């Protein structure tokens, strides 16, 4: 858990090295989320570029375009899973939002915990997908879940820190547009490599 702040600082240092390109890329990623169609593929492309930056490679628009083409189908399978899971969880939380009784309260807690678990697994998803040879959706999802379960304390701390960073970035507005996606992706890449034993 003590490695998390160090890895975050390392991610910021990597971002600083490619500052201008990554600022533009983060803005493009943010706009892509608003289009919905290009949101998941752009997230995959962001992860691919982050892996290149972490390897201290020169990155540019060509790398983004290549990653978009290579990951478009797989990214949308992942994106469809996000819509389905978060949609079901949100629906259930809405249905049980005001229901009385201990059972309804337990269900609300259960849906919330499932949402947090899904969020935690997906923090590992793209860096892990790009680090392995078998990049099928269910294989990556299974490996991400195993990584979370094998490192429970680390995962809880990482998830809470990421959630707080997202919340703070959303409130700030400027930070959201400038660095949110890139910082999280670079940090996630370094976290997954640390857990895999790759420095």
User: What is the CA angle 153-127-76, rounded to 5?
Assistant: 115
pLDDT at 105 over 90: no
Please, which pLDDT band fits residue 36 given cuts at 50, 70 and 90? confident
- pLDDT number for residue 1: 61
pLDDT at 199 over 70: no
pLDDT at 137 over 70: yes
pLDDT at 97 over 90: no
- State percent of the chain over pLDDT 70: 96
* Torsion-angle region of 88 (φ positive above 0: left; ψ -120 to 50: alpha; else: beta): alpha
Mean pLDDT, the chain, whole residue set: 90
d(CA 104, CA 123): 29
**Total structural domains within the chain:** 1
Asked if 127 contacts 193 with a C-beta cutoff of 8 angstroms, the reply is: yes
Least trusted range by pLDDT, from 15-19, 103-107, 129-133, 155-159:
103-107
What does the pLDDT look like over 68-90, one tens digit per residue? 999 999 999 999 999 999 999 99
Residue range 139-162: mean pLDDT, rounded:
95
Which domain range does residue 42 map to? 3-196
Q: 100 φ, ψ to 5°?
A: -80, 165
Asked if 191 contacts 153 with a C-beta cutoff of 8 angstroms, the reply is: no
d(CA 165, CA 66): 29
From 54, 47, 64, 61, select the one nearest 17 (Cα to Cα): 54
Going by the DSSP 8-state scheme, the letter that residue 59 receives in this structure is -
pLDDT at 2 over 70: no
CA distances in angstroms from 9 to 20, 41, 85, listed in the order given: 18, 27, 32
Please, which pLDDT band fits residue 167 given cuts at 50, 70 and 90? confident
pLDDT at 101 over 90: no
Going by the DSSP 8-state scheme, the letter that residue 83 receives in this structure is H
Please, which pLDDT band fits residue 56 given cuts at 50, 70 and 90? confident
Q: What does the H/E/C string look like for 116-177?
A: HHHHHHHHHHHHHHHHCCCCCHHHHHHHHHHHHHHCHHHHHHHHHHHHHHHHHHHHHCHHHH
- pLDDT number for residue 87: 93
- pLDDT number for residue 134: 93
Question: Which class for 34: exposed (0-12), middle (13-18), buried (19 or more C-beta within 10 A)?
Answer: exposed
Least trusted range by pLDDT, from 129-143, 162-176, 177-191:
162-176
């Amino acid at each position: 858990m003590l490695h998390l702040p160090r890895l975050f600082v390392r991610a910021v240092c990597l971002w600083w090295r490619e500052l201008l390109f990554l600022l533009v890329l983060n803005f493009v990623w943010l706009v892509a989320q608003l289009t919905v169609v290009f949101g998941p593929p752009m997230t995959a492309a962001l992860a691919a570029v982050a892996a290149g930056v972490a390897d201290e490679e020169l990155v540019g628009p060509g790398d983004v375009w290549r990653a978009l083409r290579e990951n478009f189908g797989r990214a949308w399978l992942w994106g469809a899973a996000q819509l389905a899971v978060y949609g079901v969880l949100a629906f259930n939380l809405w249905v049980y939002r005001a229901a009385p009784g201990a059972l309804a309260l337990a269900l609300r807690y259960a849906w919330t915990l499932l949402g947090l678990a899904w969020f935690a697994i997906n923090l590992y998803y793209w860096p892990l997908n790009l680090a392995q040879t078998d990049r099928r959706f269910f294989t990556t999802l299974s490996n991400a879940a195993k990584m979370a379960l094998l490192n429970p304390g680390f995962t809880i701390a990482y998830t809470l820190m990421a959630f707080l960073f997202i919340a703070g970035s959303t409130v700030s507005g400027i930070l959201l547009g400038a660095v949110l996606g890139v910082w999280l992706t670079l940090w996630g890449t370094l976290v997954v490599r640390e857990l895999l034993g790759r420095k």
